[in-house]
Amino acid sequence: VTGNTNGSLSIWNFPELTLQRNFDAHSRTITAVLQMGIRYLITTSLDGSVRVWDTQAWQTPPRMFEILENQQPVGIRCAVLAKDGLLCVGCEDGSIRILDCSGKVAQVLKVRNHTAAVVSLVVIQGRLVSASYDATLRVWSLREDSLLTCQHVFYGHRDAITAVTTTQNVLVVSASADRTCRIWDLDKLECVGMFANNNKDLVSGVVGLGNRVVSVSWDGDVTVMTLQRL
């Protein structure tokens, strides 16, 4: 299942990759498509809404929740499932919201520590790491009562952070518009490595694969980095 910039959702047969169906799901770009259990699919969008779809009955209207601030929708830039139907979303206003999607979708928490849009989220070892256009990473403890406590703020990037990923259990890797990727140790709470990509366009995404990190630039280049023992 893929989410599209026009707000539509496409369902493909796999592995043939033939289109099964395409339909309007949101009014703006879909920013995340997440599987919840075997049956349900969660989509988020720049239109500020979260929708939970029943994959066994696509014709059934989805369960919905709209994030509003002063009666205006707040765009969702990223999302990650934490546990037990709890969805963490990063928003354009710099806030992080936790929504309970296990039944009727409801917001259970809002925190706003970033000063610009939260564009990427990862969960690692009971912690949530948020990346923002304010050039910082924040590490949050995910408590059983669904509360978020900021444990640490990572500084170092000179421009907006565009993505974050996890690798090797305690490491997170951030990509930035400053054309660098930085490696952060969540136990030591420090930067333990950096890869400069000075001759490439802005790094737009990063994925951790064991001891390798793959970064993607807006110009279409893919770079594979091998992490030495840190």
Q: Are 155 and 163 in contact (CB under 8 A)?
A: no
**In whole angstroms, what is the distance from residue 129 CA to residue 195 CA?**
20
Model confidence band, residue 64 (pLDDT cutoffs 50, 70, 90): very high
Q: How confident is the model at residue 198 (pLDDT cuts 50, 70, 90)?
A: low
pLDDT band at 30; cut points 50, 70, 90: very high
C-beta atoms surrounding 18 within 10 Å: 8
As a whole number of angstroms, the distance between CA 127 and CA 45 comes to 24
What per-residue string of b and e applies to 72-104 under the rule 16 or more CB within 10 Å gives b?
A: ebbbbbbbbbbeebbbbbbbbbbbbbbbbbeee
Give the residue with greater pLDDT, 169 vs 114: 114
Alpha helices by DSSP H, listed for the chain, are none
Residue 129: pLDDT over 80 = yes
pLDDT at 230 over 60: no
Mean predicted confidence (pLDDT) in 79-107: 94
- pLDDT given at position 222: 81
Residue 4: φ, ψ to 5°: -115, 160
Confidence bin at 112 (pLDDT 50/70/90): very high
What pLDDT is attached to residue 31? 97
pLDDT of residue 188: 93
Nearest residue to 175 (alpha-carbon basis) of 211, 135, 139: 135
pLDDT band at 213 (very low <50, low <70, confident <90, very high): confident
Confidence category of residue 147, pLDDT binned at 50, 70, 90:
confident
Peptide bond into 15 cis (omega under 30): yes
Mean pLDDT of the chain: 91
- How big is the CA angle at 65 (ends 64 and 70), to the nearest 5 degrees? 150
Pairing outcome for strands 212-217 and 96-100: unpaired
What are the tens digits of pLDDT across the range 157-183? Answer: 999 999 999 987 789 999 998 888 899
pLDDT of residue 200: 61
Reading the block at residue 200, the tokens are: 């490439």
Say which residue, 192 or 168, is predicted with more confidence. Answer: 192
Nearest Cα neighbor of 128 from 119, 137, 136 is: 137
* Least confident range of 40-49, 77-86, 189-198: 189-198
Residue 206 pLDDT class (50, 70, 90 cuts): confident
* pLDDT tens by residue, 2-19: 999 999 999 999 989 999
Predicted local confidence at residue 88, as pLDDT:
97
